[in-house]
Amino acid sequence: MNKEELRKHSNIYAEGVGYKLNPDKETVDRILEGLMKNEEKFGARYCPCRVITGNKEQDSKIICPCEYHHSEIEVLGRCACNLFLRRNSNNSLDTRAPKMKDRRHYNWDITSKTHLLFVEHSSSNGICSNCVKCGLCEIGLKARTGRTPFPEVFGGSQFGAEKRLPDLHDLQILPEIIGEEVFFKEVDTSVKIGGFNISVPLSIAAIGSTKIGFENRKELSAGAALAGIPVVIGENVYASHGEEGLKLSIKSFLDNYQNKGAIIVQANAEDQKAGVPEKAVSMGAQGIELKLGQGAKMGLGGEVKFKGKELAEKYKKIGYRVVEEGEDMYERHSSPGSIILEDLKQKLIQYSELKVPIWIKVATGHGIIELLEFLSETKKKENIKLDAVTLDGYGGGTGMSPWMIMNEFGLPSASILSKLKSMNFSVIVAGGYCDGSDVAKALMLGADAVSMGRPFLIAANVAQEKGVQRFAGAIQEELQMISACLRKKKLLYIQGMRDNLYPLSRDVADMFGLH
């Protein structure tokens, strides 16, 4: 390949993943010449700004485009050798509101250090139509590891599906033209959801034991209390961080509690075995959430990698499946749990004795309507304290799940709302929601509230508990504006206003049951 061909290939690559080639021709010429010289001398286009060690495996990481360039571009705006740059701020990709779907290139590259197969690259199978043999694609990764790709920063980042499905953004809100003026600042957003008074129909989704979740736990809890919304402490916190871990979150909430919102502790199959709901309530938790499933995992349990035999023994003792990977590395597979309706009923009766509201979280797969109707019937017949069910759908976040599961399973949770009869518990939807219009559309389709995880985690990362409070405040303002445009003085009244949603395609109409 000559220099001009290589320039063309590099340019195709840069454009394809959302970067650009350095506009300084002299710099690019030098690097391209270096790459060609390295290919001639060492057999591959090794980065001229890195040391070739002679160790093939090690050196394969520095074949251009090297393994490090995504994180370098994220941090520095350029790769180490200055060949690839972040796109200019005048580029539409960078200046739009940070919707996850618009930032997909950045997200998947940085976190997984690989390019997953996506149709934007080329034909429908996702294989690059102009393969430059970089070997960084999903096929290359599988060839090197023999495993399905997982996001690589185990528990240190947050992840979610990237595939573009028809979703709430394909619904336009139609304002009410006739009616009395409503000043948006005066719209009342308070509601009673899942057994609690809350200031805006939002909840912070269960964020569990993974590093990123636990590091922000205090801020999320305090922020929820300040915002007056519920926050759920996610799974495995007790197993990973002990009673102190649970106490920390509960205390931060209660210290800032202003009679709105709630602190709820989630329990997955292992947590239930370990008696987490009982412990949490005795520590001051105001509700419990039984985890039956998660949108980003849809049938898998929590998958965690960690180091150390001692920890492995501890997890085994609690009841986790622990698999040794070699070099003192282990994988912990927590149980997704069985859903046997009769057993579930007994469990609900048992946990009702704790005298706090019970929430359930479940993934929206096949059988969900049957499950919800069973729960509704059970509540009618038995004296159970079931107060909310969170339907977690496609687009939901996680600290850990294989990309394949995140992308290829499930539907947006709001798509099942049209199939539900009126339920005797709150129906909360979750999975990929991140702004006020998402929340409003879900309410208009019939949901009682929306649960968000990753947006609150980002807010906590940016400005701690104040960030959480401000973010909830911004969503509240957006909801007030939408409610005013629909001429409703109470946000509650926009619930079920399906006629004010216009589907942009027949597929979208079918998905959300809008005809």
Partner 1 sequence: MQKKVKIYSSQYCTFCLTAKNFFKKHGIVYEDINVQEDEQAARYITDLTQQTTIPVIIIDDKEVIVGFDEAKLKKALEIKE
CA 94 to chain centre: 21
333 part of the interface to partner 1, by CB under 8 A: no
Q: Which of 81, 205, 222, 406 binds partner 1 (CB under 8 A)?
A: 81
Quickly count: other Cβ atoms within 10 Å of residue 243's Cβ.
Answer: 14
Candidate segments 37-45, 121-129, 193-201, 209-217, binder of partner 1 by CB under 8 A? 37-45
User: In sequence order, what DSSP letters do the residues of 199-222 get, joined into one string?
Assistant: SSSEEEEEE-SSHHHHHTHHHHHH
Q: Which of 80, 254, 318, 458 binds partner 1 (CB under 8 A)?
A: 80
- What minimum distance in Å lies between the beta carbon of 215 and partner 1? 25
Tokens of 361: 């979280």
CB 428 within 8 A of CB 372: no
Distance CA 159, CA 164 (A): 15
User: Is residue 64 helix, strand or coil?
Assistant: coil
Q: Which of 60, 71, 82, 352 binds partner 1 (CB under 8 A)?
A: 82
Buried b (16+ CB within 10 A) or exposed e, 172-206: ebeebeeeeebeeeebebbbebbbbebbbbbbbbb
Q: Which helix (H) or strand (E) holds 460?
A: helix 454-485
Distance CA 118, CA 25 (A): 31
Q: Which of 5, 15, 33, 377 binds partner 1 (CB under 8 A)?
A: 33
Q: Which of 2, 4, 40, 54 binds partner 1 (CB under 8 A)?
A: 54
Closest to partner 1 by CB, 54 or 146 = 54
Q: Letter for the amino acid at 280?
A: A
Closest to partner 1 by CB, 61 or 241 = 61
Candidate segments 47-55, 313-321, 454-462, 492-500, binder of partner 1 by CB under 8 A? 47-55
Closest to partner 1 by CB, 27 or 190 = 27
1 part of the interface to partner 1, by CB under 8 A: no
Closest to partner 1 by CB, 24 or 313 = 24
74 part of the interface to partner 1, by CB under 8 A: no
Candidate segments 44-52, 171-179, 327-335, 342-350, binder of partner 1 by CB under 8 A? 44-52
- Cβ neighbors of 176 (< 8 A, separation 6 or more) are 485, 486, 487, 500
53 part of the interface to partner 1, by CB under 8 A: yes
CB 149 within 8 A of CB 402: yes
Q: Which residues pair with 78 in a beta bridge?
A: 85
30 part of the interface to partner 1, by CB under 8 A: yes
Closest CA to 70 of 131, 153, 126, 186: 153
- What minimum distance in Å lies between the beta carbon of 6 and partner 1? 13
Candidate segments 79-87, 99-107, 112-120, 428-436, binder of partner 1 by CB under 8 A? 79-87
Closest to partner 1 by CB, 126 or 135 = 135
212 part of the interface to partner 1, by CB under 8 A: no
- What minimum distance in Å lies between the beta carbon of 119 and partner 1? 34
295 part of the interface to partner 1, by CB under 8 A: no
31 part of the interface to partner 1, by CB under 8 A: yes
Q: In a 10 Å sphere around its CB, with 0-12 CB exposed, 13-18 middle and 19+ buried, how is residue 359 labelled?
A: buried
Q: Which of 3, 5, 43, 51 binds partner 1 (CB under 8 A)?
A: 51
Closest to partner 1 by CB, 23 or 54 = 54
Closest to partner 1 by CB, 27 or 464 = 27
Closest to partner 1 by CB, 44 or 463 = 44
Q: Letter for the amino acid at 125?
A: N
Closest to partner 1 by CB, 48 or 395 = 48
CB 267 within 8 A of CB 354: no
Candidate segments 23-31, 127-135, 278-286, 369-377, binder of partner 1 by CB under 8 A? 23-31
Closest to partner 1 by CB, 48 or 432 = 48
- What minimum distance in Å lies between the beta carbon of 113 and partner 1? 15
Tokens of 447: 């949901």
Q: Which of 7, 8, 12, 27 binds partner 1 (CB under 8 A)?
A: 27
Closest to partner 1 by CB, 48 or 396 = 48
Closest CA to 30 of 62, 60, 5, 7: 7
User: Is residue 452 helix, strand or coil?
Assistant: strand
Distance CA 161, CA 107 (A): 10
Please write down the long-range contacts of 340-345, taking CB distance under 8 Å and 24 or more positions apart. Answer: 341/371, 341/374, 344/292, 344/374, 344/375, 345/378, 345/382
Closest to partner 1 by CB, 50 or 251 = 50
Distance CA 384, CA 138 (A): 47
Distance CA 416, CA 253 (A): 32
62 part of the interface to partner 1, by CB under 8 A: yes
Candidate segments 35-43, 237-245, 315-323, 446-454, binder of partner 1 by CB under 8 A? 35-43
- Cβ neighbors of 302 (< 8 A, separation 6 or more) are 208, 209, 235, 236, 268, 332, 333, 334, 400
Q: Which of 50, 247, 345, 487 binds partner 1 (CB under 8 A)?
A: 50
Tell me, by CB under 8 A, how many residues bind partner 1.
Answer: 21
Closest to partner 1 by CB, 17 or 63 = 63
Q: Which of 18, 34, 151, 261 binds partner 1 (CB under 8 A)?
A: 34
Write out the residues near partner 1 by the rule CB under 8 A: 27, 30-31, 33-35, 37-38, 41, 48-54, 58, 62, 80-82
